[in-house]
Amino acid sequence: MFLYPAFGSFLIGWAKPVPVTRENFLHPRRDDILVSVAGPAANLLLFTIALGCLCLLTRLGIFDQGAQAIVLEFLTFFLLLNFFLAVFNMLPIPPLDGSWVMKALLPGRLSYEYSRLDRYGFILIYVLLVTGLLKVFFTPAYMLLGGILKAVGLGEGS
C-alpha cells in the first residue's frame, strides 16, 4: 500500500505478506524485529541509492535536457516511493511491519492485548486513508525528507 502525494491518490493491495516461521527463531523478540525491519531497511537503502544518483546526476549535468528530465523524474519518483514505503510500513498498525516491531518490544501481556487489534488493522488503515488522518503520520516524514533533500543540496532554498 502506498500514498503518493504528487498524484493525490493511493494504491492498495499489491504487497504480499512474507511467510515467517517464528518458531524457528533462536531469539524470538530480536529476530522478529530484524525480520520486520528488513523490508523498510531495504526501502531506505534504495532511497539512499536514488538520492546519491540524483545528487551525482544533477551536479554532473551529463544528459541533454530531455533525457535528463526523464531520468530525474524517474529517480525522484523512485526516491519518494521508497522513502514513504519505509515510513508507512513502520507505522504500528497491523498488518504493517511496525506492528510486528511493536509486538516484539511490548512485554508479554501488553503484546498479547496489542495483537488482538490484528483483525481490525485493515479497517483502521482504510479509515485513516479515507478521513485524511494518515497525513498526521506523514507530516514529520515530509519534514525529515525536506531536511535531507536540503542537506544534500536538492531541496528548496539550497
Write the secondary structure of 71-117 as one string of H (helix), E (strand) and C (coil).
HHHHHHHHHHHHHHHHHHHCCCCCCCHHHHHHHHHCCHHHHHHHHCC
Quote the domain boundaries for residue 43. 27-148
Residue 65 in domain? yes
Distance CA 4, CA 12 (A): 11
Count of domains in the chain? 1
pLDDT for the residue numbered 2: 39
Distance CA 134, CA 39 (A): 20
Residue 16 in domain? no
Residue 13 in domain? no
Task: Give me the tens of pLDDT residue by residue for the chain, a chain 158 residues long.
Answer: 334 444 455 556 666 777 889 899 999 889 999 999 999 999 999 999 999 998 888 888 766 677 777 888 899 999 999 999 999 999 999 989 999 999 999 998 999 999 999 999 989 998 998 898 988 888 999 999 999 999 998 877 65
Residue 93 in domain? yes
Judged on CB neighbours under 10 Å (0-12, 13-18, 19+), 96 is buried
